[in-house]
Amino acid sequence: MKKNKSADLELLLSGSIARKYPQVVKRSEKFCVIYTRVSSKEQAENNSSLEIQLRLCKEFAKREGLVVKEYFGGTYDSAKTDGRKEFVSMLNYVKKDKDITYIIVWNFERFSRTGPAAAQLSSELGQMGIILRSVSQNIDNTTPSGQMQENIFHIFSHYDNQQRSTRTKVNTREIFLQGYWTYSAPTGYKNLKPKHKASEHQYIITEEGKLQKRLFSGKQKVLSNKEIADKLAARGVRAYRKNFRWIISNPFYAGYITGKLLDYKLIKGHHPALIDLETYLKANKLLKESPVADIARSQKVEELPLKIFAKDSITNSPFTGYIKKGNWYYKARHKGAGVNISAKN
């Protein structure tokens, strides 16, 4: 009886250890998927990087005797996070299809630039028997030394990404200090040269902007927020019911720019002002005193100061925001816009 009890305990213990230290699954099939990407829409449209990546990945698979079962990516997608649509689809596919043994990429940074997180993800895939292969960094990452080399590639990609981000912030701040706006035009403005550098942007006030001016004149007449919103709604400008306070409090309309990179200091902009500074200040003073009943408005998030004010230049869709792993990001509302920007920038 004691012997059977001891055997049961040993079986229970071995099961517990197996769960804590899972065995590496071995997949012996010669099937693979190919994942390609570039970082921006401009890269996707203006160079042949995606086509080159795909061709070289196909040639690599052929040399290795692998059968390509599916293709993923083929578009622009920032690798700063691992929440990319095509990337997630690819991961879900290889986890479900037990025939897939390899994920082929042009280089490891095409897979991800999240550094330690990328190394951890590659390790987890390895536990499932899925091996990440880089065409341009042809190492044997099934060995300890090869895994170390791969991890170094991931770490350096992440480091390079952080260095670029720092340089971008410094450069963007300098442009802001000169009075130039680097993001999409807010509601009521149109940039006639959106693809030019910021110092060459030409902003005009749209018909929508002229109607928008009534927001400020309405506040000077001491109308309630609801009364102003109703008057504008009668003219077909229904969006203001939701964005009322955000629009009035945006100094861009008074000819100034601000942002986190400027520590919210006001800088005189080169764009035309919708209203003068005195009108802006009066409207904002009255805004604090006016009732806001029946005006739907989004909860302001301090980490996303440009949300609603800025728009995607291609789809004209306003930005919303989300938080991922403790970091805030702007995202265009339009489905398929593919715009995700770190709020730290």
Average pLDDT along the chain, 345 residues, taken 10 residues at a time? 50 48 65 88 68 93 94 74 76 92 92 86 90 90 88 86 85 93 90 91 90 71 67 62 73 91 91 89 74 44 59 65 72 64 65
Tell me the two tokens of residue 238. 């229904």
> What per-residue confidence (pLDDT) applies to 151?
87
Specify whether 190 is located in the same domain as 279: yes
146, 131 Cβ separation under 8 angstroms = no
- Whether 7 is in a domain gets the answer no
- Whether 243 is in a domain gets the answer yes
The range of the structural domain enclosing residue 282 comes to 178-297
- Which residue, among 251, 249, 247, 253, has the nearest Cα to 273 in the 3D structure? 253
31-38/67-76 β-pairing: parallel
Split into its structural domains, the chain has a count of 3
Which one-letter amino acid corresponds to residue 95? K
> What per-residue confidence (pLDDT) applies to 141?
85
Could you give phi then psi for residue 271, rounded to 5 degrees? -85, 160
- Whether 155 is in a domain gets the answer yes
> What per-residue confidence (pLDDT) applies to 291?
47
118, 81 Cβ separation under 8 angstroms = no
Report CA-CA distances (Å) from 282 to 67, 85, 205, 251, 310: 68, 45, 21, 12, 23
Could you give phi then psi for residue 12, rounded to 5 degrees? -65, -45
> What per-residue confidence (pLDDT) applies to 115?
85
pTM: 0.53
**CATH number of the CATH domain containing 135:** 3.40.50.1390
Residues 6+ apart with CB under 8 A from 48: none
Q: Which helix (H) or strand (E) holds 91?
A: helix 85-96
Specify whether 192 is located in the same domain as 262: yes
Could you give phi then psi for residue 290, rounded to 5 degrees? -85, 150
Report the chain's terminal Cα–Cα distance, integer Å. 69
279, 219 Cβ separation under 8 angstroms = no
- Whether 168 is in a domain gets the answer no
* Residue corresponding to tokens 């769960």: 19
Residue 233 three-state SS: helix
